[in-house]
Amino acid sequence: MILRRLSQSLKEQNWMAIGIEFVLLVVGVFLGIQVANWNVERETKQKATVFTERLKADLRNEAFFYQYMIEYNQDVLASAEKAVNALTGKVPSSDEQLLISAYRATQYKQPQRFRATYDELISTGNIGLIKDQKLRLTAMRIYNVAAIDKFAQEGVQSRYREAFRMSIDNDVQRALAKQCGDRYVQRGDYQAILNAIDYPCTLDLPQPEIDEAVKSLRSNPQLVPFLRVRIADIGTRLFDMNVNNADIVEGLKAVIEEKP
């Protein structure tokens, strides 16, 4: 409409009308661009809000499993130290308790990860939508830190675990898993992770079977050296989780303390 009137005014050389029409055209284009920019800005803010809340939800889950990995492996480490002390005669122990501690020292936990939002932000180049710098850096650290996955990797590949499994009768191993294995922990239940594996238990096995299993452990000259490596590996990872990654701990704590 404006362009048709402007064309007609040019033909008639109506300069005042031409000026008015031109101004209206410029203003119309300007307003159109502004409206488009406002829409883009509004959509960007909406996306940023959605991604930020999703990321916070994921990090709350990550915070739980981060603490779970620490608590669980502290208990595994304690069992490993009890086992090596009993095997070397440093601390007296019953055969049953030695067997339980030696078994629990083989255990590891596969961490459950919640990284879908972070991976989407990275793959689409939208990580900048997370305006909270501390939140963004916490996410980048937690999803790229090696210590979490190395816990499970070193547990699976542990030569001590392999030596123990090779030394003990399978029926005894099944009894150990049934009576003294990992307890189920509901996600978010921080109280339950305190005794997921470190709890009192007894084996429903005849004493001769227990004695034979312990005799087999003691007769393996590699078991104690492998166990010492296991202790060192767990200690290193716990130091990483608690000390070297103190910034992650602080960032996750801030996310937890913020009300959803």
**Per-residue pLDDT reduced to its tens digit, 200-259:** 999 989 999 999 999 999 999 999 999 999 999 999 999 999 999 999 999 999 999 886
Residues of the domain holding 96: 63-257
How confident is the model at residue 2, as a pLDDT? 46
How confident is the model at residue 10, as a pLDDT? 45
164 assigned to some structural domain: yes
How confident is the model at residue 146, as a pLDDT? 84
33 assigned to some structural domain: no
103 assigned to some structural domain: yes
48 assigned to some structural domain: no
Residues 85, 90: Cα–Cα separation, whole Å: 5
Number of domains in the chain: 1
- The whole-model pTM stands at 0.83
51-67 tens-digit pLDDT: 999 999 999 999 999 99
110 assigned to some structural domain: yes
34 assigned to some structural domain: no
How confident is the model at residue 218, as a pLDDT? 96
How confident is the model at residue 257, as a pLDDT? 87
Give pLDDT < 70 ranges for the chain: 1-42, 44, 259-260
How confident is the model at residue 25, as a pLDDT? 54
77 assigned to some structural domain: yes
Residue 4 has phi, psi (to 5 degrees) of: -65, -40
12 assigned to some structural domain: no
How confident is the model at residue 189, as a pLDDT? 93
